Amino acid sequence: MALPKFLQPFLPSYDISKMDLDDLYDKKLIIEAVLNQGTTKEIKWLFVTYSTREIKNVLKNPSRGCWNPRVLNFWTKFFRIKINPIIYEIAILDLNPNPKKRERWFKFIRKNASKETLKRWQELGILR
């Protein structure tokens, strides 16, 4: 199913005619973009198009570096979602490099990664 044209300003880097409402990757992009930037019209459309469960899943696993802090704070409180502080911190859009924040993120990822993932990272030289 095609996306409505009024969503194009919220996804300027994408050709919305090629996006799929049901594709997991596209769904996450759409939900994050509308929650982050949408007005009442787009947010109403979002809640009609996607279930509360789908929206909550996106909020529980926010993409790195794409969220406005006030917006993420509002929606996590609205849905009563608790996000690990490190995940929350890394999800916030910040144009200033912060090596300490990145290091905390990578320690968190390394600690929570599966043995198979850690093995692959070692093979690729990501872990030393």
Q: Based on the fold, state whether residues 48 and 109 are members of the same structural domain.
A: no
Residues whose CB falls within 8 Å of the CB of residue 41, separated by 6 or more in sequence, listed in order: 6
What's the pTM value of the predicted model, to 2 decimals? Answer: 0.78
- Cα–Cα distance, 101 to 62 (Å, whole number): 16
pLDDT digits (tens, 9 = 90+) for 98-117: 778 777 877 877 787 788 88
pLDDT digits (tens, 9 = 90+) for 1-19: 678 899 999 999 898 889 9
What is the residue-wise DSSP string for 42-66?
A: HHHHHHHHS-HHHHHHHHHSPPTT-
Shortest CA distance to 60 belongs to which of 72, 47, 45?
Answer: 72
Are 37 and 10 spatial neighbours (Cβ–Cβ below 8 Å)?
yes
Is 87 domain-assigned? Answer: no
pLDDT digits (tens, 9 = 90+) for 55-101: 999 999 999 888 999 999 999 999 999 998 888 888 898 777 777 87
Is 18 domain-assigned? Answer: yes
Higher pLDDT, 107 or 43: 43
Q: Based on the fold, state whether residues 36 and 73 are members of the same structural domain.
A: yes
Q: Please state the domain count of the chain.
A: 2
Domain of 123, in residue numbers: 96-128
